[in-house]
Structure formats: structure tokens, C-alpha cells
Structure 1
Amino acid sequence: MAKTYFTEDHEWLRVEGGIATIGITDYAQEQLGDLVFVELPEPGKKLAKGDTAVVVESVKAASDVYAPVDGEITEANTALSSDPSLV
């Protein structure tokens, strides 16, 4: 069963079967507005808690998404590179 955690910076972490998935909350998406670019990490990249994991850019601003825990990127949603609105 997946368990979801939320940070004070409007990011979420979902843990299921030893794998964690991160993202931003609906509130964060609404505040950013229409997303135009997403910079994703490469698989194999190691992150420490607080490191920049992803950069999202909207018509309003660019924003970092921080790693809520230490870990290693196993895969990224590459569809976001060509269609940032999927966030």
C-alpha cells in the first residue's frame, strides 16, 4: 500500500514497495500557472535531501523541486520533457 507525504514547500513523496516518487501539489501547480519547461534528472543521479531534483518553469517563474529524502534516480517521467502540461 502506497503512503504519501507532503512537504511545507508543496511537494509530495509517495513510497510504495521501497520506491519513492516525487512531485508537486495541485496548489504549487496552480501558483506556477502554465508550465512551459521541465528539467528532469538523469537515471543514476544520487540526491541528498534538499538537493534540487527537478526544475519546472512556467509563464510566471522557474522553481526548483527539492529531494525530500536521500536517494538515487531510477527513472524520470520523460513525457514531461515534451509536454510539461502533464504535471
Structure 2
Amino acid sequence: MKTWPVQDAKARFSEMLEDCLRNGPQLVTRRGSEAAVLVPIEEWRRLRGATVRTLKELLLSEEARGDLKVPPRGRHPRRAPPRFD
């Protein structure tokens, strides 16, 4: 993956886009740290489609199953609810 400083990415966006379409994702950095990635639209759609799941699918999937780890109750008694006389 080629790295582009933000100044170069702005000045040479067409070149960066062509590199993206030919060679895959392009990384944009700001002040030396990674800031963004330009990816081809097919890759973006594939990534988006892989993560979109309905609540029903999540609840019916195996990863939604499991035991809840409930912490033990404390030794202190609960406070009595306030009385309104």
C-alpha cells in the first residue's frame, strides 16, 4: 500500500485515484500518522456488505449465544426504600 502525505494527496489526487484503481488501497498520512485510506468502490462495497447484519441475524447466530457472567452479590444488605408518610 502506497503512502501519501496529505499535501501530496490533495495536489495529486487524480494520480492517487489512478494508483488506487490499478494497485489497490492508498494510505493518506497527516503529520506522519495514518489518517485515511482510499479504496476502490468494489472493495468498499465488499467491506460494507460483510459487516451489515440485522438484529434478527445477530440473535440467531452462534456468536450471540453464551453464558452471562453475573458478578456475585455484595455482602452488604440493601437499603430500605424511602417512606412517604
Q: Smaller-chain TM-score range?
A: under 0.3
Structure with more of its chain in helix, by fraction: 2
What TM-score results when the alignment is normalised by the length of structure 1?
Answer: 0.27
Which has the larger strand fraction? Answer: 1
Indicate the structure whose relative CO is greater, using CA pairs within 8 Å and at least 6 residues apart. 1
TM-score by length of 2: 0.27
